[in-house]
Amino acid sequence: MVAIVDYGVGNLMAIQNIIKKVGGNSVIASDPAIIQQAERIILPGVGSFGYCMERLTKQDLIPVLQEEVFGNKKKILGLCVGAQMMTEESEEGGSRGLGWVQAKTIKFDEAKVPILPHMEWTDVRFKNYTSLGRGFEEGGRFYFVHSYHFEFYQARQVLATAHFGYDFACVFQRENIFGVQFHPEKSHRFGMRLFENFLSL
């Protein structure tokens, strides 16, 4: 069972539908007890970094997520802003993040990109083909909507990059913690494959 964290933000039904399509079971959960019972966790996110962190804090979900991710070592996948919140901080409003990965969230360099936000299908290049990268040896295209991206202090945590004006990290892993900058729930067959990979880890 996968718990899709409900803190009032994200494409929850779309995520649940695509997990069902690839043969998985999921529950949309805001109750810490249900999150504790799940085998895996998905942390969605849409909108601004600060608002999402505020909602997650107000719902009092950070303690249970910390315990399940670090205490019980459950695998968790952050989507878009859900993944950004796993970094230490964001330039978007100067908000602090969860600090789960050694990175920060920065705004695209507007002098180097054609327009913001980056809102289009974009090729993703995986650095290795284990874990989330299985089956993407020929590449994959995912749907992005964002003006900020990850900046990692340690390149070894970066699993894949994409290009928008310049290369940027778009998939990461730190042990049982995974994050993607794009929206796999809106990325059709490529998104389905990524969710299949997450469920089979």
Active site residues: 80, 183, 185
Identify which of 10, 44, 11, 5 has the alpha carbon closest to the alpha carbon of residue 28.
Answer: 5
Strands 148-152 and 158-164 turn out to be unpaired
**First CA to last CA distance, the chain:** 13
- For 158, how many CA atoms within 13 A lie in the half-sphere containing its CB? 19
Asked whether the beta carbons of 143 and 108 are under 8 A apart, the reply is no
Q: Which two tokens stand for residue 49?
A: 């970094």
- Going by C-beta distance under 8 Å and a sequence separation of 6 or more, which residues neighbour residue 168? 108, 149, 150, 161, 162, 181
What is the three-class DSSP state of 72?
Answer: coil
Length reported for the chain: 201
| Residue matched to tokens 């969860």 | 98
Dist CA 67 CA 183 (whole Å) = 26
